[in-house]
Structures are given as structure tokens and as C-alpha cells.
Structure 1
């Protein structure tokens, strides 16, 4: 069955990239700010390392938040600039979950999803021809007729 559907094409930022870059920039800012700390001006019990760790934690989380906020703003701007198109869609209704799974696997492998399908009116051959085509190796592994070789 053929139909037409409306689609919107737009650019969308990857949130994880923006948030990761924000956290990295926050960590870099914390490192630069640590360079300007005078160790003699630190209160007793505090070290430059403790101050740097606190700055790193606060500014990295702040950068993570600001990167995510920037991604949300860019995504919102991208939604406003989205172009809408009407395209033809082919809707294939299949009720059998096994058939759906087989088609998805065939599509993932780059094969034609309809190549292996069969209608219920066609008989499916279940014969195993590979056992008849194998040459006998000639080794004696015991009887092949299903009886055990233990003699019990």
C-alpha cells in the first residue's frame, strides 16, 4: 500500500558532544585558575591541591550544564529552521513477529528482505542434503547407527 507522509528535515546537535566539551572546558578553566592561587594565602588545613580539586569539580559540572544548555538552544533553533517535505511511503503490514525479525536481519545484512520469504501455500523443503554430500573420512569413531560402543 502506498501513501504519502510529511517529514521534517533539520540539523540536530549531539548532546553528549556538547556536554563533554563543556566539562573539558570547565576543567581547563579550573586548571588555569589554579595557576593564579597564592599558596601562602591559603587558610590553614587547605592545600592548593584541595582547592584545585574543588574548582575542578565545580567548573566541570558547570561546563557540563552549560554545554547541555547550548545544545538545547541550538536544537531549538534547528527546529525553527526545519524544512518540511512530503514524501512517498510504502507501508508494509506484517503481523508475524518472526517475519518482522527476519526482514530486519536481512536489511541489516544488506540483503533483500523479500528474497527469503515464502507464502504459506508454497511447501518448504526440510531435507538436509549436506549429510549426503559429505565424503566419509574413513576414521573409525564407532558405530554410526545410534548404538553405543560401550557394550552396556
Structure 2
């Protein structure tokens, strides 16, 4: 087998980029905590108009429908803003690119 090696120097741009999934996951957890806190501070007395009392589990579920998507969106927005600011810290470096081919 003969090996052919080609080497060249190229320029590459390096910039830090946030991981969107991590930020959105943290947003979901914050939304979950917000729903739990709002459920905890809520009052569970019959309303004056309807004489209905919702159980804490049902209130928590309804709050999750609002707080989790809001937290998910806010986490994504924070990641986007961090990416925009990271563009200022981009730098160009010279790297050695090597290509090795083998003949069978």
C-alpha cells in the first residue's frame, strides 16, 4: 500500500458558541420551578362566583402549560443573545490541514 500525504495551511475562524439545548433545558427547569412556586403560594378556597375549588395538582398542571414554554423560549433568547455577543470574540487562526490517502 502506498500512502500519499498532502499538507496545506489554511485559515479558520474560531468563536465560542453556546449550546442551545442546555440553555433551553435550564429554561424548562426554571419554568417548572416557577409553576411549583406559583402553585405553592396559591389559595385553594372556593371562589365567590363559582363555588369551585381546584386541587393543587390540577393548578400545577395548568401552570406548567404556561411556564414551561415561556422558560423554553427565554432560554433560547438568552442563548441567541450570547451568540450575538460571542461574534465579537471571534478570532482567525492558521491551521495545518493534512490529507492522507492510501492506494490499495
**TM-score normalised to structure 2 length:** 0.77
SS in 2 for 1:91: strand
CA shift, 1:72, in A, is 1.6
Q: Which has the higher contact order (CA 8 A, sep 6+)?
A: 2
Given candidates 92, 98, 101, the residue that maps to 1:90 is 98
**Equivalent-residue separation in structure 1 for 2:53 and 2:37 (angstroms):** 23
Q: CA deviation at 1:70?
A: 0.9
Supply the distance in 2 between the matched residues of 1:67 and 1:6 (Cα, whole angstroms): 33
Give the CA deviation at 1:48.
Answer: 2.9
Distance in structure 2 (CA, Å) of the matches to 1:5 and 1:69: 34
- 2:58 paired with 1:53: no
**Structure with the greater alpha carbon radius of gyration:** 1
Q: Distance in 1 between matches of 2:72 and 2:44?
A: 28
Structure 1: 5+ residue stretches without partners: 95-116, 121-152
Secondary structure of 1:39's match? coil
Q: Which residue of 2 aligns with 1:108?
A: none
Residue in structure 2 matched with residue 9 of structure 1 by the alignment: 14
Contact 2:45 2:53 in 1 (8 A): no
Where do residues 132-151 of structure 1 align in structure 2 (5 Å cutoff)?
none
Alpha-carbon distance in 1 for matches of 2:11, 2:85: 20
Contact 2:24 2:71 in 1 (8 A): yes
Q: Which residue among 21, 29, 35 is the counterpart of 2:26? A: 21
